[in-house]
Amino acid sequence: MGRRLPPTPPCPALLLGAADGVGDSCPIPLGARPRSSACRRPSGAPAPAPHGSAMRGLLLALCALAGVSCRNQEEKLLQDLMTNYNRHLRPALRGDQVIDVTLKLTLTNLISLNEREETLTTNVWIEMQWSDYRLRWDPEHYDNIQLLRVPSTMVWLPDIVLENNIDGTFEITLYTNVLVSPDGSIYWLPPAIYRSSCSIHVTYFPFDWQNCTMVFQSQTYSANEINLLLTVEEGQTVEWISIDPEAFTENGEWAIKHRPARKIINSGHFTPDDTQYQQVVFYLIIQRKPLFYIINIIVPCVLISSMAVLVYFLPAKAGGQKCTVSINVLLAQTVFLFLIAQKVPETSQAVPLIGKYLTFLMVVTVVIVVNAVIVLNVSLRTPNTHSMSQRVRQVWLHLLPRYLGMHMPEEAPGPPRASRRRSSLGLMVKADEYMLWKARTELLFEKQKERDGLMKTVLEKIGRGLDSGYAQDFCQSLEEAGPEIRACVDACNHIANATREQNDFSSENEEWILVGRVIDRVCFFIMASLFFCGTVGIFLMAHFNQAPALPFPGDPKPYLPQ
C-alpha cells in the first residue's frame, strides 16, 4: 500500500485571531467548558465588552461552518465522481482499448494441504491495480485531496477469480475499499482464504514434494478487453509470490521451496491463433517435513518388525510361540498400513513409498511364519516316521554349521545308523506284537515270575555243588545250571541292546532337532539381511527425492527478488 495521506489543510477560520484583542486569552470551542485556571478570567477583572463577546461568537460560528466545509470536501468529491458512473461498464475510452490489470499475490499463511481430498488451503492478499479515467479529479478543486477511499462495490472491478478452486468460492473473502488517486489509478488489496485443487503425487509419501498452483483469470473479460500483467516494483517484474516475514506463519508440515509466478497465454486447451485466453498462475513448490511420520509410524513399525526376526532365537521346538509372535507382528503392520491408507488419496496410479515398505515388511513376516512351520515340522520328526539320509546329515549337520559358527555335538563311533535303526525297529515291532496278545497285568506278573524262578533255580543248583565240598560236584552243578545262566546272560544282553537302541533312537531324534536349529540360523541370516537391505533401500530412495533446484526445468531464472 505504501502511500501516505497528505496532511489535512487547516480550516481558514481557525487561523483568524481575536479581532478586537478583547476577551479570553485562549480559544474555547463552542459548547466546551474551561478546565484550566489559566483560561479563566481573574477575579476582580472587568467583564468584557458586549461587542467583544459578540465578535468572538461570530468568529467561532464561522470556524465551525468552515470545518464542516473542510470535512465535506471528500464527500463532495465522491458524489461528483459517482455522478453518472456505471460500475458495470469497462473503463475504456474506445471499444478496442485494452485495460491493463496488474496482479500480485502475497501469502500470509499456508494453512494446510489435504492429501486425501487433494486440496490446498491458503490465506492470501491479492493486490490489483488498474486505471479508470472516470475517477479522475483536480486536487486543487477539492482542498488538495490526493487519495480517496471508495467502497469496492461502487466501482468497476476486473472480475479476477480463482479458476481452480475446489469449493465453488470464486470470489474473495472481504470486499475492502479501493484507493483511488487523482489520475484515476485504482489500488485494491482484498484478503482471501482459498481452497484450490492440487494434484497429489503419492509415489514418495511421506518423503514427497508437491507442485500446487493457483490459477487466476478474469471471469467475464477476454484478453482483447483486459490485459493481465504481473506487478512491476522498482523496475523489476514481481514473478513470484510475495511473503511478508512479519505476517507470514510457517506451516509445520510443509516447507516452501519455490514460489514462481507466470502469465500463460493460449495454453494446451486453445489453439495458437486464439489470443483471448490468458491466465496468471502462481506456483507453490513445497517439500514435506517427514519428522512426524518418522517418529509416529516408521520407527515403531521398524521396531515391531524387528521382533519378528528375533523369533529365530527361540528353541526349534517352540514353533507355536514363534508363529504367535510373528502373527502379532503381522497384525500390527496391518494397523500401520490402515493408518497410511487413511492419509493418502484413493488412487491406483502409484503406491506410496511407505506403503511399499509396510508391504515388504508384511511379506518378510509371512515368510518368517512359514519358516517357523517348516522348522517345527522338521524338529518333531522321529526315526519311526522319517529316515535321515547321509546327504542331509552331511549338509545340515557338518557343512553348514561350520560356516554358520555353530557348535555341533560329536557323533559317537558305532555301526551305521541305518543298521542300528533297522535292528531298533525290529525289536520295537516284536515288542509291539508281543504286547498285542498279552495283557499288561499278565506280562507284569509273568516277568516277575520268570525273574524270581530263574534266579532261584540257578542259586539252588549252584548251592548243592557248593554244599558237597567237592570240585566235581560243583562243576556238575554248574553244568546243570548252564541253561539258566545262559538265559541270564541273554537277558542282560537284551537289556544292553535295548538301552543302546533307545540311545540311538534319542540320538537320531536329536539330530532332527539340530537340523531345525541349522534351518533357523540360515533363515535368520537371510531374513535379517533382507530386512536391513530393504529398510536402507527405502530410505535411500526417499533421500534422493528432493525438490528441484529450479522451479522450471531448463529455465535458469530463479523467480526470486534480486
Asked if 111 and 244 sit in the same domain, the reply is yes
SS3 of residue 502 by DSSP: helix
Answer yes or no: are the C-beta atoms of 211 and 157 closer than 8 Å.
Answer: no
User: What is the structure's pLDDT at 193?
Assistant: 92
What cell was used for 270? 486453445
Are 328 and 282 in a shared domain? no
Same domain membership, residue 263 and residue 179: yes
Residues 336 and 462 placed together within one structural domain of the fold? no
Identify whether residues 129 and 276 lie together within a single domain: yes
Q: Does residue 427 lie in a domain region?
A: yes
DSSP characters for 326-361?
Answer: HHHHHHHHHHHHHHHHTTS---SS---HHHHHHHHH
Residues 368 and 446 in one domain: no
Q: Which DSSP category does 410 fall into?
A: P
Grid coordinates of 496? 544292553
Asked, for residue 88, whether it belongs to a domain, the answer is: no
In this prediction, residue 277 carries a pLDDT of 80
Q: What is the 3-state secondary structure (H, E, C) of 196-219?
A: EECCCCCCCCCCCEEEEEEEEEEC
Could you tell me if residue 70 is inside a domain? Answer: no
What pLDDT score was predicted for residue 365? Answer: 93
Distance CA 91, CA 113 (A): 39
Q: Is residue 552 one of the residues assigned to a domain?
A: no
Query: What's the first-to-final CA gap in the chain, in angstroms?
Result: 21
Question: Look-up: residue for cell 475492502?
Answer: 176
Task: Provide the CATH number for the domain around residue 245.
Answer: 2.70.170.10
Query: Which residue in the block uniquely carries the three cell numbers 469496492?
Result: 152
Q: Which residues pair with 121 in a beta bridge?
A: 112, 195
Judge contact between 297 and 340, C-beta under 8 A. yes
Q: Which structural domain, as residue segments, surrounds residue 259?
A: 99-289
Note whether 258 and 369 are same-domain residues.
no
Q: Taking the CB of residue 27, how many other CB atoms lie within 10 A of it?
A: 15
3-state helix vs strand vs coil in the chain, percent to 5: 45, 20, 35
SS3 of 116, please?
coil
- The total number of structural domains in the chain stands at 3
How much is the pLDDT for 395? 86
Question: In a structure prediction context, what are the per-residue pLDDT tens digits for the chain, which is 562 residues long?
Answer: 443 334 444 443 333 333 343 334 333 333 333 333 333 444 444 444 445 566 666 656 655 555 555 557 889 999 999 999 999 999 999 888 999 999 999 999 999 999 989 999 999 999 999 999 999 999 999 999 999 999 999 999 998 999 999 887 767 778 899 999 999 999 999 999 999 999 999 999 999 999 999 999 988 888 889 999 999 998 899 999 999 888 898 999 999 999 999 998 876 665 655 557 889 999 999 999 999 999 999 999 999 999 999 888 888 777 788 889 999 999 999 999 998 888 888 888 888 999 999 999 999 999 999 998 998 888 888 877 788 888 888 888 888 888 887 776 665 555 555 444 554 445 444 444 444 444 544 444 444 444 555 566 666 666 666 666 666 666 766 666 667 667 777 777 777 777 777 666 667 778 888 888 899 899 999 999 999 999 999 888 888 889 999 999 888 888 888 7
Check whether residue 200 and residue 348 sit in a common domain.
Answer: no
Amino acid at 458: V
Would you give the distance in Å from CA 87 to the centre of its chain?
49
Residue 370 Cα distances to 67, 113, 196, 447, 515, angstroms:
96, 42, 49, 49, 16
Using alpha carbons, select from 423, 419, 414, 453 the residue that is nearest to residue 431.
423
Q: How far is CA 455 from the centre of its chain?
A: 86
* Residue 53 resides in a domain: no
Same domain, 255 and 375: no
65 located within any domain = no
Write down which residue in 318, 352, 379 finishes a domain: 379
User: Where does a domain end: 327, 351, 379?
Assistant: 379
Coil/strand/helix, residue 230? strand
Helix (H) or strand (E) holding 192: strand 191-197
Burial class of 302 by CB neighbour count within 10 A (0 to 12, 13 to 18, 19+): middle
Same domain, 133 and 172: yes
Side-chain-side CA neighbours of 98 within 13 Å: the count stands at: 12
pLDDT at position 360? 93
Q: According to the model, what pLDDT value does residue 275 have?
A: 58
- Kindly tell me the number of DSSP H helices and DSSP E strands found in the chain: 11, 15
Closest CA to 239 of 302, 206, 282: 282
The answer to whether residues 198 and 268 belong to one domain is yes
Question: Same structural domain for residues 282 and 328?
Answer: no
The answer to whether position 137 is within a domain reads yes
Q: CB neighbours (10 Å) of residue 323?
A: 17
b/e per residue, 543-557, with b = 16+ CB within 10 A? eeeebeeebeeeeee
- Domain end residue (candidates: 289, 321, 351): 289
CA-based Rg of the chain, rounded to a whole angstrom? 52
Q: Which three cell numbers stand for residue 395?
A: 549338509
The answer to whether position 68 is within a domain reads no
Cross-strand partners of 106: 125, 242
CB 228 within 8 A of CB 262: no
